[in-house]
Structures are given as structure tokens and as C-alpha cells.
Amino acid sequence: GYPFDAHPMSVLAAMSVSLSAFYPDMDDIDPEMQVDFAVTRLVSKIRTITAFQYRHMRGEDFVNPSYKLSYCENFLNMLFSSPVLDYKINPLHVKALNQLLILHADHEQNCSTTAVRLTASSEANLYASVSAGICALWGYKHGGANQAVIEMLEEAIANGWSASDMVEKAKDKSNPYLVMGFGHRVYKTFDPRAKVAKRLCKEVLGESGDQDPLLTLALELEDVATKDQYFIERGLYPNIDFYTGLIFRRMGIPTNMFTTLFAIGRLPGWIAHWLEWKKDPYGKIGRPRQVYDGPFVRKVHDIKER
């Protein structure tokens, strides 16, 4: 098996493509006849693999899914239930997780979706294509940003930095410091998904009545940054990653598993893009063009002179 300390995204990517070995029928699937069952199976198994990886990291026995529970209820139950402790599924956590997965479902031609489409264009099956998307999502500039936000907030609290300190550090051109969770390739104003995530964050973290220092700092950082001319001029506003990590953390999900939840949420979008290519009668292999940027004339010494 995999090492206990293996990164969950590495295991998820490997296990996803391994499904091809157990379901070889995916290589010859008819997109009109068999796809519904195959898609349902994949959406279910990605969630189960993620939960099993969490149990494996902790050295705990696996918990099988239950037909009595909904998709998100099942996931939380597979993560946290125990034979010796009575685990009660929190309905607010189910609501938040369900909405966050929907918010992540698709977002046009992003890095991981492009990876899925390019892989699919080679006639690779659904499992291989999704595994490519998971690998692309792994990077902190894409799916790993919510983990980076938590690490940034924890670092600031550990060092006694205020929200203003963080903003000033980010504005200092001689300082490589970045405020994570701000800015987006598409949105030059407040990410509409972030507004929903912020509301859910306040609900989930406010349920216990205690004051979470990370949420307090995050709200202060949003307030300071969105009023700062430097951030306004550059269109740097909170994106969806800014609040999702705080929600996952309160649910008890470890930081290194945040991106796996992003993958679960994005999976329906990847599948839709894979199907779109699969049903295209003119589906050609993807081959992005490159533009050469370099010297056009180079003096090359004769081989005898070298």
C-alpha cells in the first residue's frame, strides 16, 4: 500500500487511473448508452477513495459507504465515524459541503479542465483523463490555494502580524510575500462564489459560539485589502479559496486533504468536458501552438573550429 504520510492528491491521482485496470470497459464505452452508469460509478468512487485515504493516513479501518445516507452525509461518515464513538453527522456541515462542491463543479477552461480535455483528445479513457486533471489541480496556484490560505493565516498569527502588516508586506516589491486567496484570472472584482463561501464560513464557524482567530484575521484582511488602493487598482479581491479552507478545517479535515475536496467538487465539470469531446464527431487530438520567442539568426562555428 501507499505510505501513511503520502500526499492525498498523489494517492487520489494514482487510484483514479488505476480504476482503468478494474473497469477496462471504459476504453470502449458508448457515450450514448453506457455513460450514465460509468459516470455515477466514478463520482461515487472518487469520494470513497478520498475517505479511505484519510483513514489510511490515521491507521484506521475503512468505513464502507451506506445506501441510507446522501452523498455528502456518506462522505463525512466514511471520514469520521468510529466503532467505539457515536458519530453524529452535523447537518450544517452537510449543507456547507454540498454547496461548496456545487460551487467548485465547473469554471470554464482552467488549468485542470484543459489537462482533462487534452488527455481525452488522445482517446484516453475517462479515468486516465480525470487523473490528469487531478495532477494539474494539485499545484498551489490552482487547487492548492485554499491550503496556502490556511498556512498564511497560521503564519501571520504565529508571528503576530496584523491584517495591515500582511497587506503592506504584499505591497513591498522587495518582499516575495503574497496574500493568498486574493485575485483571479477571470474575476477583476469580488468572486461571486467567494460571497457564498464567506456566508457558509460564518455559519459553520459561528455555530459553536467561539471566536476562531483565523476567521477573525481573515475578515480583517478582507476589509483592509478591499479598501487598499494597491489591491483595488490590480483587481485583487477575495476568491473562493479564501474561505473554503476555513470551513474544511472546522469540519476536521486536515489541511493536506483540502485539494482532494476541490477535486471531488470539480469532477462533474471534468466529466462534462470529457463527454463533450467524446461526442464531438470531429474530435481531433489537442495540440496547442507555440510562438517562438528568441534570436532568429545565430552564428554557428564550424565543427572544426569548436
Three-class SS of the chain:
CCCCCCCHHHHHHHHHHHHHHHCHHHHHCCCCCCHHHHHHHHHHHHHHHHHHHHHHHHCCCCCCCCCCCCHHHHHHHHHHCCCCCCCCCCHHHHHHHHHHHHHCCCCCCCHHHHHHHHHHCCCCCHHHHHHHHHHHHCCCCCCCHHHHHHHHHHHHHHHCCCHHHHHHHHHCCCCCCCCCCECCCCCCCCCHHHHHHHHHHHHHHHCCCCCCHHHHHHHHHHHHHCCCHHHHHCCCCECCHHHHHHHHHHHCCCHHHHHHHHHHHHHHHHHHHHHHHHCCCCCCCCCCCCCCCCCCCCCCCCHHHC
| pLDDT score of 299 | 86
First CA to last CA across the chain, in angstroms? Answer: 53
| pLDDT score of 31 | 61
Residues of the chain with CATH 1.10.580.10: 8-142+255-278
CATH of 8-142+255-278, one of 1.10.580.10, 2.102.10.10, 1.10.760.10, 3.40.50.150: 1.10.580.10
CATH topology of domain 145-251: Cytochrome p450-Terp; domain 2 (1.10.230)
What does the block give as the cell for 181? 486567496
- Catalytically active residues, by annotation: 184, 241
The residue ranges of the chain whose pLDDT is under 50 are: none
| pLDDT score of 283 | 81
Contact yes or no for 204/76 (Cβ under 8 A): no
Contact yes or no for 123/148 (Cβ under 8 A): no
| pLDDT score of 29 | 67
| pLDDT score of 85 | 80
Residues of the chain with CATH 1.10.230.10: 145-251
Cα of 239 vs its chain's centroid, Å: 13
| pLDDT score of 32 | 64
Would the pTM count as exceeding 0.85?
yes
